[in-house]
Copies of this chain bind each other. A is one copy, B any other.
Amino acid sequence: MIRLDATAPGFPDAFTALVNARREADDDVARNVTHIIRRVRDEGDAALADLTRLFDKHELDTTGWAIDRAECLAAWEGLPDDLRAALELAAERIAVYHAKQRPEDRDEIDAQGVRLGARWSAVDAAGIYVPGGRAAYPSSVLMNAIPAKAAGVRRLVMVTPTPNGEVNPLVLAAAHIAGVDELWRVGGAQAIAALAYGTQRIAPVDVVTGPGNAWVAEAKRQLYGVVGIDMVAGPSEIVVVADGRNDPEWIAADLLSQAEHDPTSQSILFTDDAAFADAVAAAVEAQIPQLATAATARTSWDANGAIVLVPSLSDAIPLVDRLAPEHLELACDDAEALFAQVRHAGSVFLGRHTPEAVGDYVAGPNHVLPTGRRARFASGLSVLDFMKRTSFLALDPAGLAAIGPAAVALANAEGLPAHAKSVALRLGKG
């Protein structure tokens, strides 16, 4: 963890270094992923079987390629009551929030008699990636699958690695409540390639979303254009802007809730109170050893954590904008006023009683958010990622007479005579 003081002489350079620090995996990965993608494209299921044997240590022909919906239902029914109720509450709230994101169609006729419109529709099929092992999160299943269903996707396919053949019942239960239609036991770059190109068993999809390790992220990047993807995801981050009247234990837990995700995660506190900064730093040290995730949290906090002292909380906001954080907590009295100054953040948590973790699970908005400063231009996952817009146009002879001559003039100026002719003929001037 580094401590910075925004009024110290070396601050601008030190903060720039913090902004520009690359925490993302570098790439021999890219070459390996290219090779895996080619194999799956050319060899299909045979490549999936080989790569699953290699990476996940099981035989798909023995363990089974697919997990059927009855298994998901059984996992759902086998959950402890409190967990089933929690997943149900989360699914319901996520569904309500995302249903309201569905865009409206347009269809209007303007003063020239030109009919102009736009019609939104869902993609036919979507694939969601769910990591295995440490990051096998049922909440991610909900956050990816429910927006797809809210968009109207007819075929929703989930892929997830099952290392050593072991399935995660929580993930299956989440797939049940989220309405996943197909579930395949494949993971890694090979699973993304299978979704993009299709194999003998797995029909291709139109959009692939979901978190994954560096190989999965690189496969999505390389296959962007063959399929739609949500975003290139990098390590997670949280920025907390807090005054001295917060409980330092609460803020320490918030910082650690990001640090415990991954050694590359980042947690940054901005505060205007030096004593509070000390108290939070101490609370972090006290809490880490209590966590089952202590090793990860320790590495992340030591390597990437930061506490920045600012003259006032307002002074933090331009610095926050440079970081364009995935998550931003504004833990102060008039959080609204600070929020009005923020330009770039994936998701913002207002006030002292809105820990980021509540947004990870049950609040309703999506927890798949732009990382690595991409909130400058990107948004969280939404129904829009599973939909596309078809614009349309209808002219009658009068409408074409009104605007067609300008099209002819521009087409000729651009040296495109067939463009001009297609309009001019209909104007009786061909």
In the bound complex, what is the Cα–Cα distance between A193 and B115 (angstroms)? 40
Is A239 on the interface with B (CB-CB < 8 A)?
no
Chain B neighbourhood of A293, CB < 8 A: 415-418
Is there an interface contact between B343 and A116, defined as CB atoms closer than 8 Å?
A: no
Say which residue of B261, B414, B418 sits within 8 Å of A297 (CB atoms). B418
Number of identical protomers:
2
User: Which residues in chain A, 345-376, are within 8 Å of chain B measured between CB atoms?
Assistant: 345-366, 369-370, 372, 374-376
Q: Which residue of B lies closest to A250 (CB)?
A: B425
Say which residue of B121, B256, B360 sits within 8 Å of A407 (CB atoms). B360
In the bound complex, what is the Cα–Cα distance between A103 and B104 (angstroms)? 10
Is there an interface contact between A413 and B170, defined as CB atoms closer than 8 Å?
A: yes
User: Which residues in chain A, 398-428, are within 8 Å of chain B measured between CB atoms?
Assistant: 399-400, 403-407, 409-411, 413-423, 425-426
Best-surrounded residue of A137, A344, A345, A414 (most CB of chain B within 10 A): A414
Is there an interface contact between B86 and A406, defined as CB atoms closer than 8 Å?
A: yes
Is there an interface contact between A353 and B396, defined as CB atoms closer than 8 Å?
A: yes
Assuming the contacts A343-B124, A361-B407, asked whether A353 and B395 have C-beta atoms less than 8 A apart, the reply is yes
Is A93 on the interface with B (CB-CB < 8 A)?
yes
In the bound complex, what is the Cα–Cα distance between A395 and B411 (angstroms)? 56
Is A225 on the interface with B (CB-CB < 8 A)?
yes
User: Which residues in chain A, 210-265, are within 8 Å of chain B measured between CB atoms?
Assistant: 221, 224-225, 227-228, 231-232, 247, 249-250, 253-254, 256-257, 259-261
In the bound complex, what is the Cα–Cα distance between A232 and B418 (angstroms)? 26
Chain B neighbourhood of A101, CB < 8 A: 118
Interface magnitude class on chain A = 35 or more
Chain B neighbourhood of A253, CB < 8 A: 418, 421-422, 425, 430
Please name 15 further chain A to chain B contacts, defined as beta carbons within 8 Å, in addition to the given A134-B415, A358-B407, sorted by A numbering. A86-B410, A123-B377, A228-B377, A247-B425, A253-B422, A257-B419, A257-B422, A292-B415, A293-B418, A350-B394, A360-B411, A362-B407, A362-B410, A370-B388, A380-B391
A residues whose Cβ falls under 8 Å from a Cβ of B: 82-83, 85-87, 89-90, 93, 96-97, 100-101, 103, 106, 110, 114-116, 118, 121, 123-124, 134, 137-139, 170, 206-207, 221, 224-225, 227-228, 231-232, 247, 249-250, 253-254, 256-257, 259-261, 287, 290-293, 297, 335, 339, 342-366, 369-370, 372, 374-380, 382, 384, 388-397, 399-400, 403-407, 409-411, 413-423, 425-426, 430
